[in-house]
Amino acid sequence: MSAPVEDFLAMLAAERGAAANTLAAYRRDLEGAEEVVGDLSAASPADLSRLGKAWADLAPSTVARKSSALRQFYGFCVDERLRKDDPSHTLPRPPARRPLPKILGHAEIERLFEQAEAEAQSDRTLAVRQLALLEMLYGSGLRATELVSLPISAVPRDAPFLTVMGKGGQARMVPVSKRARAALDRWVSLRDGESRFLFPSRKSHLTRIRLYQILKELAARAGLAPEKVSPHVLRHAFATHLLEGGADLRVLQTLLGHADIATTQIYTHVDSARLVALVNERHPLAERGT
């Protein structure tokens, strides 16, 4: 790797707080580009134009990601005066087609909770843990990794919030509903008191894979297709159903921990009918009729 690329990666880590996985992805993309064109810091627009052919068999989303990494690198080079020009205008620009999130309907969510609550009535430790996990995924919109790695110290004593460490080491406050707090209290009273993790497992915490398995097994017992249920699907349901209920997009962005509101805006596709009704009811000209 050329020195400017290493400096760029160091900047991502130090100034933007990029996570290890993010840095590894940037490194792979930039290394791959250097294998085609050589030293990126000295590459010309003509050199970069060769990447389009090298990436011809890749998915549009992959090409877009690689191009984005290079554009950010050249923006860094210009800012740091490592070069005067930005040659990235010759990089391919595939049309972005972001897939719509998979979500569960209200009735399906209700079936999941009915099953989890029925099983938790026995006060079996694993059944109570299952209900607490479900409440936090759907009630607070946590990512799988955020949830399983929660320390016990994150559980609030009086305030209805908990502190979550999100992507890139960014902390945010997440509200905890009354029912989620009740489920957490039940679980805390039963869990292993020696672990520093809220959801302990052996010497560490519950794994993301085990969380996936718990949800899919619960879905099957609730009469739902297991492939429809995952931690991310429940996070999407949390966001979509809040938006349907009138939540502001900026508030939703904060709750989900999105750095860019463009990421949050994907949820607006599910609420077009409500938005049309809102315009018809609230617009100043609405009362004038047709």
167 assigned to active site = yes
Catalytic residue among 66, 111, 129, 143: 143
Please indicate whether residue 236 is annotated as part of the active site.
no
Specify the DSSP class assigned to residue 58.
Answer: S
Q: Which two tokens stand for residue 157?
A: 């004593």
Six-digit token string for 134: 């479900």
Which of 50, 71, 83, 167 is flagged as catalytic?
A: 167
Per the DSSP assignment, residues forming a β-bridge with 287 are none
Q: Three-state DSSP class for 173?
A: strand
Q: How far apart are CA 198 and CA 141, in angstroms?
A: 17
Angle at CA 254, nearest 5°, toward 250 and 257?
130
Active site residue 283: no
Instruction: Choose among 96, 95, 89: nearest CA to 49.
Output: 89
**Among the options 181, 235, 236, 241, which is catalytic?**
235
Q: Which pairs with CB-CB distance under 8 Å and at least 24 residues apart come from 204-210?
A: 205/148, 205/149, 205/150, 206/148, 207/148, 208/144, 208/145, 208/148
Residue in 143, 131, 127, 172 with CA at minimum distance from that of residue 234: 143
| Whether 143 is catalytic | yes
* Residues with active-site annotation: 143, 167, 232, 235, 258, 267
